[in-house]
Amino acid sequence: MKVCPVCDTLFDGWGANCSGKCSKIAYNRRYRQTEHGKEVNQRYYQSDRCKETSAVYAASEAGKDSHRRYSKTEKGKVVAERARVKYQQTFGYKLAQLRYKMSAKGLAWIERHQDTWHGKRDYLIYVLELPCAGCGEVDKLRLECDHILPRVFGGTDDWSNLQVLCEVCHNFKSVYHDIYWCCAFRRREE
């Protein structure tokens, strides 16, 4: 008795695989590991035919069902989260957010949620249109809301503890303040 390396079934026979189908699968796996096989695979995945086939499958019920099942697995959740975070770092996402927040619907949401952290942040940047407190940058895609006294060191989300900074100033301030406040807290503990 032997074990088929493809489907893990026991079989009696003279070959390495239990059936012709498993033999073909094993051959294709070995072929894809060769240089020529990798090149052919890459060409296929970049072709229009592959994209059309993928689109048709994704739109079919089987494709939707397969996606639903995969997205519920632990690996599927991790992959989806990674893709979401990667997309949020793109310029297109930031531009879409800016367009929404500058629309009447977005501004109404900001007005209704001024008591939350996100509402306060968006109110300072999109309604009051404050420039960067460090360098005067006015590009809304680069502006961020900053806690003057970081929350880690007891700062709150009060209006008096918030300021608008651009990405560069915010990164500089964060590094400087982390060093400064860590030293100050060590001195207080001693």
Q: How confident is the model at residue 30 (pLDDT cuts 50, 70, 90)?
A: confident
Give the pLDDT score at 152. Answer: 78
Q: How confident is the model at residue 173 (pLDDT cuts 50, 70, 90)?
A: confident
Give the pLDDT score at 185. Answer: 52
State both tokens at 140. 């809304």
Stronger pLDDT, 174 or 138, i.e. the higher one: 138
Q: How confident is the model at residue 181 (pLDDT cuts 50, 70, 90)?
A: low
Q: Is the pLDDT of residue 189 over 60?
A: no
Per cent of the chain over pLDDT 70 is: 93
Q: Which domains does the chain have, with CATH numbers?
A: 103-189 (1.10.30)
Q: How confident is the model at residue 140 (pLDDT cuts 50, 70, 90)?
A: confident
Q: How confident is the model at residue 61 (pLDDT cuts 50, 70, 90)?
A: confident
Q: Is the pLDDT of residue 25 over 80?
A: yes
Which range among 33-37, 73-77, 88-92, 175-179 shows the weakest confidence by mean pLDDT?
Answer: 175-179
**Where does residue 13 fall: left (phi above 0), alpha (psi -120 to 50 degrees), or beta otherwise?**
left
Instruction: Render pLDDT for 64-97 as a digit per residue (tens, 0 to 9).
Output: 887 788 878 888 888 888 888 888 888 788 788 8
Contact 122, 101 (CB under 8 A): yes
